[in-house]
Amino acid sequence: MSTPIIVAALYQFTPLSYPEQLQKELKAVCHEQGIKGTLILASEGINGTVAGTRTAIDHLKSFLAHHFDALEYKESSAATMPFRRMKVPLKKEIVTIGDPSVSPIHLKGTYVDPQDWNALISDPDTLVLDTRNDYEVKIGTFRGAINPQTQTFSQFPTFAKTLPKAKKVAMFCTGGIRCEKASSYMLSEGFENVYHLKGGILKYLETVPPEENLWEGDCFVFDERVALATGLAKGQFERCFGCRHPISKEDKDSSFYERGISCPHCYHTLTDKKKLRARERQRQEDLAQQRGYSHLGDSQR
């Protein structure tokens, strides 16, 4: 029996005066423990998702406890390692809204626990906003939620300017970080009644019983599992290598789908040269798997 893989999603907005040193230490810890994934560091805190054995993740948690006192932390599991490598980049923001003055460290909305979320979003006076990207929203969202139809989170401020400031606003995202930062932006713009789901969709799906669940569809995640369902079970979607878009069974039945090359979302945007190169890469990867070893191009996925 294979060893279960623990997937840990975490973040905290907190001032970091030594991100470069912490980057070196995190790289060393994750390398030593065989942990893979991404941990983003910035002067405003930490954000990321990583995976490893139970022992490895516990070791990382212990290390992080010396540097962060209030991590928003949640776990799920995977049958196999969902990441190809480990990255610890230094960035200007741990989640990019494009405005360095927006700071949940100093200003943020009201947390709403998952068990209280249904009552808030069922209130007809509440404007429910999905702060994720359009391709994420399309495979699942909360009943009645508004899709801003953004391609990147940095487009959210432009959308927010179209909303009535008198309304009570409830926001959510995958793990809680985007809606927390969005709440800071909206408060700075004059919105007064701003709420966000603590722990995000993942914590909601983990803790709210299926019979009480107001979530519809799957929740997109940024790893090889692609999407999770109620109870954090693996969902039904896969990912297109050509554009990284989540694809359904119906997408795979399309004449525009070619495994490892294209799907209906990207077929017409790929040049013949790119398709040819992708077919050769897929052929080499299939050959490598048949021989029982990883293809070098695998790490680039």
The catalytically annotated residue of 173, 240, 263, 266 is: 173
Q: Which residue has the tokens 């960035």?
A: 91
Q: In a 10 Å sphere around its CB, with 0-12 CB exposed, 13-18 middle and 19+ buried, how is residue 89 labelled?
A: exposed
Q: In a 10 Å sphere around its CB, with 0-12 CB exposed, 13-18 middle and 19+ buried, how is residue 138 labelled?
A: middle
In terms of Cα–Cα distance, which of 91, 87, 32, 98 is closest to 223? 87
Report the distance separating Cα 283 and Cα 273, nearest Å: 15
Q: Is 173 noted as a catalytic residue in this protein?
A: yes
Report the distance separating Cα 225 and Cα 80, nearest Å: 9
Indicate the pairing of strand 5-13 with strand 246-247: unpaired
Are the beta carbons of 175 and 199 closer than 8 angstroms? yes
| Residues annotated as part of the active site | 173
